[in-house]
Amino acid sequence: MKITEVSAIPISIPLTALCRMGHGVMPGRKIRTILQVKTDDGYTGFGEVEGNKADSINFMKKWVLGHDPFQIEKLRWKIAAPVYSNEQIAQEEIFAAFEFAMLDIQGKVLGRPVHDLVGGKMRDKVSFTAYLFFRYAKNGEGGESTPQELVEEAKSFVSKHGFQTLKLKAGVFNPEVDVETIRLLRKTFPEKKIRLDPNAVWSPETSIKIGKKLEKYDIEYYEDPCFGIEGMAKVTRKVNIPTCTNIIVRTFKDLPAVIRLKAVDIIHSDPHRFGGIRAAVQLSKICEVFNLGQSMHSGFETGISLAAMIHTAATWPSQPYAIDSTYEHLEDDILVKPFHFEEGQIEVPSGPGLGVEIDQGKVQIYAEAYKREGPFLSWEDPRQPEWHQLSPRW
């Protein structure tokens, strides 16, 4: 079996509203590249990567065409060799898309779901988080700019999807606004798990001060309040809330210093950034050895990547932390049968490969949208022209 065709299609998938964060505003859409890999005997596998990576994928065709889709590790050393490179994360993410597609093919050949190819599932359903953003409105959706309005957003997501865990994307306003938002969330949802993520826009000193105020609200974990391994280590030592990171651990190379300094308690896994589902399974084993908790990052992915995330989380020995999902913020998906949350969970796909069917018509619709709209190169705030990123901001 050989790979005979590779195509990369950048798409612009619409969001329900403009999500605000400490480092900018998601402009009502997300750019993803859909990867399609075909073999000489008629199998097709799908992958996905953030942003428009079509040029990079096309450059890498020379290593992929003619390759056996069962020989994943050989391809990793061609595309994302784990040696020093300023492009390492981008290379890992592109390789991950190829790995998703190759595992998709393997599963279709063998008639088995992807999770069976990387150790087997430990659960039938994976739990997800309600991801709560302050938002600028779009077509009547969103518009939250106060703590109470954020609580109303949470009520809506819980009512629609049954989420048991709530995550506040903090760092947009003065930290005291986030404290008040957490207070109202805890008052409104006394039984729910609550976490927050300021995207590292606070200083270590502010993070410690605010963390002390948050302790009484039974916070599940405190994700990246500040930047840097040393800064997070200070917060972890001083604040009586478990800490988590998606920023100071982006690759395996970041782990030794973080573990040595005991900088955080929980690591955000990501089958994209770490270089595939197999790599994310390896990360799970490292976390197990060093008694680190693990959750999972989400980046406005479509159903292809979400399927990869679900297969990954299904293999974990346990799932004490619901994984992040921005899926509920997508206006549409490119699957024939999009995923649905029930009681905040999604059932692990049982079909061969990734277990999802792609709606090629929708892929073309959102590919045309990308051609019209083009890329966005910054996360500028359209309502605050003078605004720019700062870290720390407070």
The answer to whether residues 264 and 289 touch, using CB atoms and an 8 Å cutoff, is: no
My answer on whether omega of the bond before 392 falls inside 30° of 0, hence cis, is yes
- DSSP-based three-state secondary structure for 302: coil
Nearest to 93 by CA among 43, 52, 65: 52
Nearest to 282 by CA among 268, 299, 269: 269
What is the pLDDT, as a whole number, of residue 4?
99
Residue with tokens 């595939």: 276
- With vertex at residue 326, the alpha carbon angle to CA 321 and CA 329, rounded to the nearest 5 degrees, is 145
Residue 167 phi, psi dihedral angles, 5° rounding: -125, 125
* Tokens 């390759």 sit on residue: 67
Domain with CATH 3.30.390.10 in the chain: 3-113+359-372
Residue 157, Cα to own-chain centre: how many angstroms? 18
- What is the C-alpha R_g of the chain? 20
For the chain, give the percent of residues with pLDDT over 90.
92
Handedness of CA 159, 161, 166, 171 (dihedral sign): negative
Contacts of 285 (CB under 8 A, 6+ apart): none
| Chain mean position to CA 208 | 26
- pTM of this structure: 0.97
* Cα(384)–Cα(209) distance, integer angstroms: 28
Fold of 3-113+359-372: Enolase-like; domain 1 (3.30.390)
Q: What is the pLDDT along the chain (394 residues), one digit of tens a residue?
A: 999 999 999 999 999 999 999 999 999 999 999 999 999 999 999 999 999 999 999 999 999 999 999 999 999 999 988 765 656 678 999 999 999 999 999 999 999 999 999 999 999 999 999 999 999 999 999 999 999 999 999 999 999 999 999 999 999 999 999 999 999 999 999 999 999 999 999 999 999 999 999 999 999 999 999 999 999 999 999 999 999 999 999 999 999 999 999 999 999 999 999 999 999 999 999 999 999 999 999 999 999 999 999 999 999 999 999 999 999 999 999 999 999 999 999 999 999 999 999 999 999 999 999 999 999 877 889 888 888 888 789 9
For residue 87, the model assigns a pLDDT of 64
Decide yes or no: CATH 3.20.20.120 for domain 116-347.
yes
Handedness of CA 381, 387, 392, 394 (dihedral sign): negative
Q: What does each C-alpha distance from 320 to 144, 226, 248, 316 come to in angstroms? A: 30, 24, 22, 10
pLDDT at 389: 82
Residue with tokens 């992807």: 114
CA distance 134 to 216: 23
Q: If 0-12 CB within 10 Å is exposed, 13-18 middle and 19+ buried, where does residue 373 land?
A: middle
Which residue matches tokens 């950034």? Answer: 273
CATH 3.20.20.120 in the chain is located at 116-347
HEC states along 162-196? CCCEEEEECCCCCHHHHHHHHHHHHHHCCCCEEEE
Asked if residue 5 lies in contact with residue 69, where contact means CB atoms within 8 angstroms, the answer is no
CB 153 within 8 A of CB 144: yes
